Structure 1
Amino acid sequence: MNEPQPAVRGIGVSAGTAVGPVVVMPEPIEEPPPGRRLAPRDDQQAEAVRLRSAASAVADDLMRAADAADGTTQDVLGATAAIAADPTLLADAERRVLDDHLVPERAIWEAADAVVRQFTELGGYFAERTQDIADVRDRIIANLTGLPAPGVPDHPEPFVLVARDLAPSATAALDPERVLAIVTELAGPTSHTAIVANAKGIPAVVAATGAVGALASAALVLVDGSSGVVTLDPSADQVARARELASRTRTFDGTGRTADGHRVALLANVGDPTGAAAAAAAGAEGVGLFRSEFCFLGREDPPGVDEQVVEYRRVLTEFPGRKVVVRTLDSGADKPLEFLSSPDEENPALGVRGLRTAERWPQLLEDQLEAIALAARAESADVWVMAPMVATVDEAQWFVERCAAHGLSQAGVMVEVPGAALLSGQILASAHFASIGTNDLAQYTMAADRLLGSLAELNDPWQPAVLRLVEATCRGGAQQNRPVGVCGEAASNPVLAAVLVGLGVSSLSMTARSLPDVAALLAAVTHDECRTLAQVALTAPSARSARDAVRERLPVLAELGL
């Protein structure tokens, strides 16, 4: 009997298989020696200017890369470029050069470290930015010292990238023609790595403990981005099978359904007009999550109604006669904007965000609803509107009333808070639909920061507790005859998608490149089989056992390469 090949296991977050040589991401820039100061003969002003020039060069490089990208990639690179150009960070670093006489590389290290500590304490969105700050710091130091800039190393052939973790800018800049798959020790199911890998179609496994040490010596690895298994030195048969699966081209015919004809609307998540065009080209039945934040980012003042109308129409025009669900501005203290912030909050993740901002800044919501209504009347898309971070029945009722005042008849809620899931029957007595944001729902249910790789197993939509809240939301929807969809990252996982359908979900919204895989698996199982799979997952003791038990009951996965 052949001995099984050694393997590393993590959480599969982007479906697909890939085989290739391993390239390990280099270690980050080393910390400059503490207290390293300028020599008395050094020109402190010149060194401060050199620091600012280095930061400007990094910002320009990142912005050029952002301009050449689109969608999620452009957003991530643009946000990182903004940090490199942040006057507060640079001013602190320059002060350390001029007043403390630190060499520029040590000055930017200490200035960045101070911001990282502050943001870590704030938590929420601020904590999400600490990796970006460290990435910018390392790029500036590399520029100052003549070291290679942090990033994916060159390799003469396509490869599997293995890393402890990946900075958002590094992930966003990955080229699918060069990087066959991604394996990280850290990150989690809702991290930048997972989201960008899914958008780019790169198989990915995260939270793979010990991956760097275990995989570095392998001549070849096989990455299964669905099961989360990375096989070292796979057999010739395994390699041939993986490459045959990777070469398949799967498309979506525009109608989601199970094998027995039960309809499941397969929609796309989009964040800008470019993403909308790509989703329409991929055959999406509509948009289940239109993130409207792109109109508001990087501004000192909110856009006016007329400007918003123009931007919304660019998305709506791609889906004539089809549903587009617009999420109102999902921002607040944990996703700060110049004109929308609450600096006094100790825990922004649990603070004024989503719909809660409307109490403090009511005109912002009124203007947005008016713009959505005007855009809807100018286009033929079937426009629905939903509010993020709804937690109570009163909030849902108030939002529906505000939508009705603007002539918007399909008003719904995001279910991201466990309280909303438990009260879904009452909430959906007034709201016309619900869409479950599994990313935040998992985070809040399991009390696990979605950015911490060490808590990835907890912050996993396969957690039975999270699935029970999905079931509770669907039960509330059935009581009121209201549709319930899922628009979180969970919908992009074909196997989990079947479980969600079995729990009662009527629509799934995902990154456009996931549509064919999800459609293929649903078409291979009946609705009753989905219900059985759901019960298997609900009764499992852990996320991993739920995932394994469901996969074991789906032999068709091998045929589909999922």
Structure 2
Amino acid sequence: MSDTATHSTLTGTGIGQGVVVGVVARMSDPLPEPQDTPSSRTVDEETERARASLSVVARDLEARGKTAGGTAADVLEAQAMMAEDPMLSEIIDESLARGTTAERAVFEAFASFRDQLAAMGGYLGERAADLDDVSQRVIANLSGVAAPGVPNPDHPFVLVARDLAPADTAMLDLDKVLGLVTSDGGPTSHTAILAREKSIVAVVGVTDAATLADGTTVVVDAAAGTVTAAPSDDQVADAERRIAEREAAAVAPVTPGALADGTAVPLLANLGSSAGAQAAADAGAEGVGLFRTEFLFLDAGGSAPTVEQQREHYTRLLQAFPGKKVVVRVLDAGADKPLPFLNDAHEENPALGLRGLRALRASEDILREQLTALADADKATEADLWVMAPMVSTVEETRYFVEIAREYGIKTAGVMVEVPSLALLAPQVLAASDFASIGTNDLTQYTLAADRMLGSVAALQDPWHPAVLRLVGEVGAAGAATGKPVGICGEAAADPLLAVVLVGLGATTLSMSTPALVDVRASLLKYTIDEARQLAEIALAADGAAESRAAVAAAALTLKEAQS
């Protein structure tokens, strides 16, 4: 422990259930803003410098993506495309024509583009922070200095930063980086998503993270969402005990998801590509609860992938889960994830615009091609294919999707519940479809009117909120009444204690990122269905998200003490 540090506990949003003890190593500060002074070089010389550095950074990001694989590869490939975006090049050229330096021109262009994206909000707003990282890397290359990045001490450490760029997170040395603490970001930020994928203990959105000095010993407790500086011997001992318990659980035999009384709760995986299918199966995933198909479309460039390309991709996925359920979400894109062949019209509020099923309905040929490819892959494999539509808001839209899916021989067709209107009409919705899957990320966003990508309202983006849970309960009750399955595929399912509450509210399956399976499986085994329902009632009775979480945690502790 540090002798100079003062004991304090900081709070944020924990990612996962891990806990680590380590010493702080801080991320280096960003490069200073380049001076706005005339260049001593010609415009052509500065243009050549800018082009060369943009290319170097783009190739470096692509290489990092190939090395990292998984979700990181998609993110880094997108960053590489940003570095060579034609619109950015035009803005850089305009600055260079005024006689400025390449460093300043790059800074101005990226800053301008960043502000535009930030103003759009949603998916594009989230990309704004990525531009900062690309800009810093290009300016560093132009200046002949190392880009700000992860420190490299000769010992394991807890990395503390304002936020981590995807390129940094993807290349972390997991033998050295024990945990992450960031002052920015929320549960759906890139840092959080990649931390889950790599099973890194992380607490994000820690407002006072800047007060953590290099060399300070900290306990990073993702389960509690806390960072304790200069912990006591007892606190360190407690953390080390929990670390040992989690290590033992990780190597325990993999069993199907179930509650303490034997109530089955199948645990499924969320996947973005077929590449992660085998790892999920090896980790004990009992199928796939959410296969996101948009990455296949985003990677296709200016036109939609062909039926043949889609069929090959879906077949690889289904082959990894013979005899098991695989839930595929048809293309979830639109104005917030613009695809020129689907909908690239500007919208003032894309989160409320032509997205999800609305966009597919307006371009029905794309939906029909996707259903054709899925039906073909289903015939060629032995998996149990379920197909669902995103961003459905009415019973009429539900009927539309189920009917068109039936045309192509899709045996099990359902809808995602992400909009409060659909949750409130759950009995009618489930009467018209085969199943419902609740996307808690968007359901929380729309219930609390809080953009899930906007840091200023991140505190509201919490699925523990009783208003969100009440809507989940409405769908769960409708599922029980109609005998239809109700799954959870949002990030809420990866929270081990909240997972118990969701089952108590009527969820019949839980789907999550692969690393979360171990913790959720272990958590479910501690409670019976009656106890899960008790915890759900306690959560619903709370005034807000923080109160709900605290009340359930206290009640869960009481139940454990009574059992012992």
Task: Write the letter of the residue equivalent to 1:43.
Answer: T
Alignment of structure 1 residues 191-230 onto 2, 5 Å:
191-213=189-211, 215-216=212-213, 219-230=216-227
Residue pairs, 1:61-100, within 5 angstroms: 61-97=60-96, 99-100=97-98
Is 1:56 the counterpart of 2:55? The answer is: yes
Distance 1:351 1:211 in 2: 37
SS of structure 1 residue aligned to 2:530: helix
Establish whether residue 236 from structure 1 lines up as the match of residue 237 from structure 2: no
| TM-score of the pair, normalised by structure 2 | 0.94
| DSSP 3-state at the match of 1:302 | coil
Report the Cα offset of residue 406 of structure 1.
0.2
Question: 1:383 aligns to what?
Answer: 385
CA distance in 2, matches of 1:287, 1:463: 26
1:241 positional shift: 3.7
Give the corresponding residue for 1:264. Answer: 265
- Match among 112, 115, 118 for residue 117 of structure 1: 115
User: Equivalent residue for 2:437?
Assistant: 435
**Deviation sequence 1:28-61 (CA, Å, 0-9, x none):** 222222x32213xx22101101101001000101
Moved more, 225-234 or 248-257: 248-257
**Contact 1:269-1:290 at 8 Å conserved across structures:** yes
Matches within 5 A, 1:381-530: 381-530=383-532
Cα distance in 2 for partners of 1:124, 1:109 equals: 24
Moved more, 412-421 or 395-404: 412-421
CA distance in 2, matches of 1:346, 1:55: 31
Match of 2:551 in 1: 549
Distance 1:384 1:491 in 2: 19
Aligned to 1:274: 275
Distance 1:448 1:403 in 2: 32
Aligned partners of 1:132 and 1:365: how far apart in 2? Answer: 31
> How many Å separate the matches in 2 of 1:184 and 1:451?
16
Q: Secondary structure at the match of 1:554?
A: helix
Match of 2:178 in 1: 180
Q: Decide whether the 8 Å contact of 1:132 with 1:169 is kept in 2.
A: no
Displacement of 1:270 in angstroms is 0.9
| DSSP 3-state at the match of 2:160 | strand
Which stretch of the first structure deviates more once superposed, 395-404 or 461-470? 461-470
1:123 Cα deviation (Å)?
2.0
Paired with 1:69 and 1:163, the residues of 2 have a C-alpha distance of: 21
Report the Cα distance in structure 1 between the residues aligned to 2:144 and 2:68, rounded to whole angstroms: 27
CA drift at 1:415: 0.8
Q: Does 1:146 align with 2:129?
A: no
Give CA deviations for 1:89-118 in whole Å, capped at 9, x if unaligned: 123212311x21111111111111221222
Structure 2 counterpart of 1:462, which letter? Answer: W
Q: 1:258 Cα shift?
A: 0.5
Letter in 2 for 1:499: V
- Gaps spanning 5+ residues in structure 1: where? none
Amino acid at match of 1:529: E
1:153-173 CA-to-partner distances (Å, cap 9, x unmatched) read 212112111122222333333
Unaligned 5+ runs, structure 2? 1-5
Moved over 6 A (4+): 556-559
After TM superposition, the structure 1 = structure 2 runs for residues 130-145 of structure 1, keeping only pairs within 5 Å, are 130-145=128-143
Aligned sequence identity (%): 51
Which secondary structure state, in structure 2, belongs to the residue aligned with residue 288 of structure 1? strand
Q: Which moved more, 1:174-183 or 1:232-241?
A: 232-241
Deviation of 1:505 (Å): 0.5
| CA separation of 1:425 and 1:252: change in aligned 2, threshold 3 A | farther
TM-score by length of 1: 0.95
Matched letter for residue 280 of structure 1? A
SS class of match (1:20): strand
